[in-house]
Structure 1
Amino acid sequence: MRTADWILHNARVYTMDKRLPVAASVALSSGRVLAVSERPDELLPLLSPAGRAIDLRGATVLPGFTDGHVHFLEYARKLRRLALDGLTSLDAVLEAVARRVPEVGPDEWVLGGGWDRNLWADPRFPTRQHLDRIAPHVPVALDSKDLHSVWANSRALELAGITRDTPDPEGGEIERDESGEPTGILKENACKLLEAVVPKPGAEETVRAVREAIAKAHAVGVTGIHDCEKAEALVCFGILHQRGELKLRVLAHLNKDTAEDAMRAGVFTGLGDATLRIGGLKLFADGSLGSRTAHMLQPFEGTDDCGICTMAKDEMRHWVLRACDAGISATVHAIGDRANREVLDVLAEARQRENTLRPPLRHRIEHAQLLTEEDIPRFAALDIIASVQPTHATADYEMVDRYWGARGKWAYPFRSLLAHGTRLAFGSDCPVERLAPLLGIHAAVTRRRPDGSPGPDGWQPQERLTVEEAVRAFTMGNAYAAGLEGQLGSITPGKLADLVVLSEDIFAIDPMRIPAVKVLGTFFGGRLVYADAAAEWAEGLG
């Protein structure tokens, strides 16, 4: 008879398994769930002599959270760069940059991000001249909050060779002043012109940064991520996995730049194991709301601007069908209503020519922020996963009202998608928004910010979800999207023992209290990888 390494008892266990939705104790053995019981002490006889039993005194246990859309390498690096998040004026941003300039050495750059002009009294884009006044000789490159624009000074533009004669790349824009000179703002694919000359940290430095970021993920109950980055991130995760140090379930999406090489090598969606696994081919149909580059059916309110199409529909069709033939699912970024419609059109074609020798691919649209009423049912009809981020809804609602107007009724339509049978996979888009699933659950359930705005009913309250639906999207929803629903996503005997322990029962308390709930502990593969310092059982991390 197998014995348990850990027994968590006297708890409120929400399993996300419909056969036993709520339990009182769970036993873990050799990295997996051994048993679950409705009785608080029934499993104690299973404890091995070297095992540990923890009386949780009524604390809540859930499956470990998976964040279904992150840029984890970017997040890890951002932890070491200049953070400009939340600064509410251009002057405040410039003061922060000015403090950093003396700290950089010769041939180094000032790198940072998180600035958000939508928080400023004057929401116009800043210019290179603003940065030149405080950094005339040091190159400066600052990502916008949404990661769809970069603000650079003249020295950085010089090093990148960007002048008035540099053409806009396809799917991108070099913003220019009235005389035709670059202003210092690069949008969408134009950002790549600068990325090519920004110094990259070495492999070991990157690995150290990611290891530190994984520890922060554990502290918020995250045991898995779906990563949307380039091959460099996959290499980093691979190094950690080979060393036995990857304490995070990673679904790594492929990038278009290396897709052909991957397909020729026989790489396919699902290749790997439950710790590091290949996802889909990440493509971009458009930009973002924050940078006003989302691709729209009608112009942004008060303008004649319909945004930027970063990949033409014919090119999108080529890549999606090519990937499908190789057994690689499509993972497509789409924000605006036109972008979402065109991606759905392409995925409908892909469904018609699927290979009957393999199960249908689990295609997904990332963000799906603005839809039309007639396109919402197409997600379920085509079996397309909606990989969406609840905190975008609460962070962006003022911009939605201002720039999308009445169309905003169908922005972030989580309830409408679910009502039609769409599979939801929740994430954060970290570092655009915080890596914090409890904040995502709160946003999905209340459609309010933690400070209570915009009011008691929330924004577009008809789209609110229940706590159970939101938790499911952060657990089973993401497990299904990764093809791992047989191993992850619920507290079920035989599944991997990834769990999170919470200080309060988020199913029972006022949803407005959810952001204040503490993560008391996180288990990854049956090992305690995080414990709150106040927890009596904090010793034994490993």
Structure 2
Amino acid sequence: MLLPLLLATGTTLAETVLLHNITGYGFNTERALVSFSVLAFDDASGKVLARGDNSLRQHYTDARLLDGGGKTLLPGLIDGHGHLLGLGEELSQADLRGQPSEEAAVNVVAEFAHSQPQAAWIKGRGWNQVLWESNQFPTTALLDEAIPDRPVWLTRIDGHAGWANSKALALAGITKDTLDPPGGKIIRDAAGNPTGVLMNNARSYMERVLPANSTADNISALQAAFGQLLSLGITSVHDAGISSELATLYQQLAADGKLPLRIYAMLSSRNADLADWLSGGIWQEPADWLSIRAVKIYGDGALGSRGAALLADYSDQPGHTGLLVTQPDALSQIIKLTIDAGFQANVHAIGDRANRLALDRFEQLATAEQRLAGRHRIEHAQIVAPKDIPRFKTLNVLPSMQAVHATSDKNMAGDRLGVARLRGAYAWRSFIDQGSIIVGGSDFPVELANPFHGLHASVTRQDQQNQPEGGWLPEQRLTLVEALRSFTVDAAYGAFQENAMGTLAPGSWADFILVDQDIFNIDPSQLWQVQAEQTWVHGQLRYQQSAE
């Protein structure tokens, strides 16, 4: 078993720990890569003391020596955009990810329902009609045949659409006469009858009747999410859009010392009491276990369900330009409220119209000083008009991007956008070359949370079958150093935490991982296969890979 001594708890380890015989990588204050073979840290304070070579031993003669077994050590990885509660809930629902047809997805749901006879509702997530030969949205028909007696609600992989059976539609009161809400759409047949798919804000009809989670349910889901993320080498998460109830629960868990990883929380702009939270000011736990100083604001929907707001029609649906989830006047009000309260404004924007609207408002509603100090972000920044890309740098707006979206979307993005608009799509290299700092992440559970999948996609622009040959839009590739920065110090910068984590510089938190391969000495095509063998947070071992 790797490093058996590291299984000891913090109460039995010496105060100073010297981890040696490692191939270590970190960053300096200029964000340049540095290497080292010895890491000294204080397990009481949870901070890095020094990094270097074996000469450090003479400076820490009383330290507890731990042999790293020649393993590679990296800063703890930071996911700059995820959904913790959603991940935990997904782990207890029907998993429809990757199913090749509507029929196959229904079979999975039916088997899950059979295994959950006590469940009042059957819930699942992960379906994606783009993967189906039909390439069409599903309907109630097969679900009704498989599960006629209980309501079924299945969230699309992107979280922006849901699929219901007739029982669920009836409970939600959705009929032929139900109006589409602003920023939402009920998919209908030729006669105007609901077919079972609700897009974007139309999902609210279903959310009103879904059973609410108890606090115990939420804690159980969070614990499942924490465990999975730690096993993947993730030591900090930017939780994108949390309810007031979840924010309060996080505060309680932080106060009780029950957060095993760090959370940078973005309050949802949909919270009815958002103004009250903002008036209370930034909430910061002293040891960075929890920070609440940002607001997630919703601009548009997702590309796969044609909800991303575009400047021109969808290439594969003339007359349709997507959906604005928050209307322009309301978007202005929320952004101004957030900025004036001294909080970071993080706007979800996937389509080029949504990105332009967000950039326009940052330009109009914030002073240059507020933009510089606020480190405001656009979450996803997936499709940006080429002339708008330089505005990110000019306005000091950070692109918060998820590399795996490019390799997931490559098979349908061209159909949705046409060739011309791809010039500003998933344009990581363009952002980096102009000096923008990219906050890297995965958008779990929309995508799998594994950060090595993101590193692989960043560097290769290929899926895990090494397709397409040469990479998709390969001119937008990142170097491995740039990609690693996006998941470490640059993600930390997006949370005002670059001096505390993401570098392993002396004085930063001792958040690090030991992995099974040296990522700088393997073929880039293998990056997605790298595994975390140990995850340390605050100088304490939080995950150990089981021995085979």
Report the CA distance between 1:421 and its aligned residue: 1.0
User: Structure 1 residue 204 and structure 2 residue 216: aligned?
Assistant: yes
User: Structure 1 residue 319 and structure 2 residue 334: aligned?
Assistant: yes
The two structures have a TM-score, normalised by structure 2, of 0.92
5+ residue gaps in structure 2? Answer: 1-13
Separation of aligned partners in 2, 1:510 and 1:62 = 18
Secondary structure of the residue aligned to 1:142 is strand
User: Structure 1 residue 126 and structure 2 residue 138: aligned?
Assistant: yes
Q: 1:308 to 1:521 in 2, by over 3 A?
A: same
User: Structure 1 residue 217 and structure 2 residue 229: aligned?
Assistant: yes
User: Structure 1 residue 412 and structure 2 residue 426: aligned?
Assistant: yes
Aligned match of 2:293: 279
Report the CA distance between 1:105 and its aligned residue: 4.1
Secondary structure of the residue aligned to 1:132 is helix
Aligned match of 1:26: 39
Q: 1:100 to 1:107 in 2, by over 3 A?
A: closer
User: Structure 1 residue 38 and structure 2 residue 56: aligned?
Assistant: no
- Conserved in 2, the CA contact under 8 Å of 1:6 and 1:47? no
Secondary structure of the residue aligned to 2:442 is coil
Report the CA distance between 1:41 and its aligned residue: 5.7
Report the CA distance between 1:186 and its aligned residue: 0.4
Report the CA distance between 1:48 and its aligned residue: 4.4
Aligned match of 2:441: 427
Report the CA distance between 1:265 and its aligned residue: 6.0
Percentage identity across paired residues of the two chains: 36
Which segment is superposed worse, 95-104 or 483-492? 95-104
Aligned match of 1:298: 312
Aligned match of 1:347: 362
User: Structure 1 residue 85 and structure 2 residue 85: aligned?
Assistant: no
Report the CA distance between 1:47 and its aligned residue: 5.9
How is 1:33-112 mapped onto 2 (pairs within 5 angstroms)? 33-40=47-54, 42-43=56-57, 46=60, 48=62, 51=64, 53-105=65-117, 108-112=120-124
User: Structure 1 residue 267 and structure 2 residue 280: aligned?
Assistant: yes
Secondary structure of the residue aligned to 1:68 is strand
Amino acid at match of 1:480: Y
Amino acid at match of 2:290: L
Secondary structure of the residue aligned to 1:223 is strand
Q: 1:264 to 1:225 in 2, by over 3 A?
A: closer
Q: 1:257 to 1:42 in 2, by over 3 A?
A: same
User: Structure 1 residue 307 and structure 2 residue 318: aligned?
Assistant: no
Report the CA distance between 1:268 and its aligned residue: 3.4
Q: 1:44 to 1:134 in 2, by over 3 A?
A: farther
- Conserved in 2, the CA contact under 8 Å of 1:379 and 1:422? yes
Separation of aligned partners in 2, 1:157 and 1:427 = 34
Aligned match of 1:438: 452
- Conserved in 1, the CA contact under 8 Å of 2:79 and 2:441? yes
Separation of aligned partners in 1, 2:315 and 2:454 = 28
Report the CA distance between 1:201 and its aligned residue: 2.6
Separation of aligned partners in 2, 1:521 and 1:27 = 17
**Which of 232, 248, 254 pairs up with 2:245?**
232
How is 1:238-249 mapped onto 2 (pairs within 5 angstroms)? 238-249=251-262
Aligned match of 1:140: 152
Q: 1:215 to 1:437 in 2, by over 3 A?
A: same
User: Structure 1 residue 403 and structure 2 residue 416: aligned?
Assistant: yes
Report the CA distance between 1:516 and its aligned residue: 1.8
Secondary structure of the residue aligned to 1:375 is helix
User: Structure 1 residue 334 and structure 2 residue 349: aligned?
Assistant: yes
Separation of aligned partners in 1, 2:530 and 2:138 = 38
Report the CA distance between 1:292 and its aligned residue: 0.9
Deviation digits for residues 462-505 of structure 1 (CA, Å, limit 9, x no counterpart): 11111111111111111111111121111111111110111221
Report the CA distance between 1:355 and its aligned residue: 5.8
**Which of 366, 374, 377 pairs up with 1:361?**
374
Q: 1:476 to 1:195 in 2, by over 3 A?
A: same
Separation of aligned partners in 1, 2:198 and 2:224 = 30
Separation of aligned partners in 2, 1:90 and 1:179 = 22
**Which of 377, 382, 387 pairs up with 2:390?**
377
Q: 1:149 to 1:204 in 2, by over 3 A?
A: same
Deviation digits for residues 40-60 of structure 1 (CA, Å, limit 9, x no counterpart): 3633762647x3x22223321
- Conserved in 1, the CA contact under 8 Å of 2:103 and 2:142? no
The two structures have a TM-score, normalised by structure 1, of 0.93
User: Structure 1 residue 466 and structure 2 residue 447: aligned?
Assistant: no
Which segment is superposed worse, 306-315 or 458-467? 306-315
5+ residue gaps in structure 1? Answer: 536-542
Secondary structure of the residue aligned to 2:346 is strand
User: Structure 1 residue 12 and structure 2 residue 23: aligned?
Assistant: yes
Secondary structure of the residue aligned to 1:233 is helix
- Conserved in 2, the CA contact under 8 Å of 1:4 and 1:47? no
- Conserved in 2, the CA contact under 8 Å of 1:112 and 1:141? yes
Report the CA distance between 1:166 and its aligned residue: 1.5
Separation of aligned partners in 2, 1:419 and 1:355 = 24
Secondary structure of the residue aligned to 1:374 is helix
Separation of aligned partners in 1, 2:513 and 2:125 = 30
Aligned match of 1:177: 189
- Conserved in 2, the CA contact under 8 Å of 1:270 and 1:483? no
Aligned match of 2:9: none
Separation of aligned partners in 2, 1:142 and 1:95 = 13
> How many residues matched?
529
